[in-house]
Amino acid sequence: MEERIPVTVLTGFLGSGKTTLLQRLLNCEEGAGVAVMINELGEVALDHLFVQKLTESTIVLKNGCICCTMREDLQTGLRELIDGCSRGIIAPFNRVVVETTGLADPTPIAQTLDGDLMLRRQVRLANIITTIDAVFGAEQLDTHEESMRQAAIADRLVLTKTDIATPEQIALARDKIHKVNPMAMVLDSNSPESLWPMLFDIDPFNPDTKSAEVQAWLSRLPHIKAADAMHGEHHHHHHGEGEEHVHHYHEGYHHDENEIQTFSIRTEKPLNWTAFAIWLSALVHRYGKQILRIKGLLNVPGALGPVVLNTVQSHITPPMHLDEWPDEDHSSRIVFIVQGISPKMMQTSLEHFLSILED
């Protein structure tokens, strides 16, 4: 169904093991079909020298960061790969992995793919993979905003250096990343099994695997599934004649002034899609960079199954219908990962918006 080439963004803090992971992936059987773009800071690019299996389908973007100054280079690089392949200069590939610098904000990269009309027809964002250093990860998440954003935005988190970290360090890193991003699958880079299927076979933006991906991240959110049992931890809001509207579950991750927060909203009532879509685009427009991820299952009147929502910052993929619900719970559930925005404010504004349109 989906013919565009999937692009994976591989990010992670400085020295967290991106290049090492990339090397391991390229060494897999499936690695032969991967074209690589490596972005490095500094005039003398070195990273790509550590990746042994480099072929002609590797492009090194030097001397700048694709998330800030080199977005055009990213576009040009992708075009070069695609053109080269169609002219037979570059070996055929079926996936592109873009390794960012350690300080990159991965979200503008997603937008870069979107922003180029030509490219948009040929490539699509497949997923965002973030490496987290098991030894220093917990500390880096606390002290470096870049690290925190990289973790918050990810579809997959890969814990590296578990072979040299203490069990306490690993537990602490896992605990922190779960608080920042409970939806992402967490993998161990030193696991003897192939990471390939976990990283690539279920692809959150691919309609064919959407249902499996939704089930996977829902299962990681037990507090949403078992919401009614969570007395005291969520707030009911009553409107008019006591009708129940939006419930709000607050996970909360406290991080100084630029606090990143994960929280979810559930509503039992079918959601007015038009109203919700207007609210969402206004939100994304207003807060831009502060919206890291939004994932949701929406119960929209008239639809057989739920509508799946998946945004990376202002990159809102067209919502997709599933034929059936992944579980018995047919309420709308939306998970937000935001930075410096009050969950309370968002919840109130959504309630308000939905109620205006109902009247």
Rounded least distance, CB 38 to ligand GTP, Å: 9
Cα–Cα distances (Å) from 336 to 189, 214, 263, 265, in that order, read: 27, 15, 5, 8
- CA dist 94 and 206 (Å) reads 14
Identify the CA nearest to 210 among candidates 150, 114, 126, 274. Answer: 126
Q: Which residues contact 224 (CB under 8 A, 6 or more apart)?
A: 218, 249, 264, 266, 333, 335
Closer Cβ to ligand GTP, 128 or 214, answer by number: 128
User: Whole-number minimum distance, CB 31 to ligand GTP, in Å?
Assistant: 16
d(CA 295, CA 211): 13
Helix (H) and strand (E) counts in the chain: 13, 17
Report, in Å, the least distance between residue 135 CB and ligand GTP.
9
Determine how β-strand 156-160 pairs with β-strand 123-133: parallel
The H-or-E segment that residue 37 falls in is: strand 34-39
Between 49 and 89, CB nearer to ligand GTP: 49
Q: Quick one: tokens of 11? A: 């990010």
List all residues 6 or more positions away from 209 whose beta carbon is below 8 Å from its beta carbon: 201, 202, 203
Q: Which is nearer to ligand GTP, 11 or 299 (CB)?
A: 11
**Can you read off the two tokens belonging to residue 10?**
């591989």
DSSP structural state of residue 93: -
On the 0-12 / 13-18 / 19+ scale of CB atoms within 10 A, 110 is buried
Return d(Cα 96, Cα 108) in angstroms, integer.
Answer: 17
Q: What is the rounded distance in angstroms from the CA atom of residue 205 to the CA atom of residue 228? A: 30
d(CA 347, CA 342): 9
Q: How far is the CB of 19 from ligand GTP (least distance, A)?
A: 3
Phi and psi dihedrals of 194, rounded to 5? -70, 135
Grouping H, G, I as helix, E, B as strand and the rest as coil, residue 329 is coil
Laid out side by side, the sheet with 156-160 consists of 58-61, 34-39, 95-99, 5-12, 123-133, 156-160, 185-188
Residues recorded for the chain? 359
**Residue ranges binding ligand GTP (CB under 6 A):** 12, 14-20, 47, 102, 160-161, 163-164, 189-190
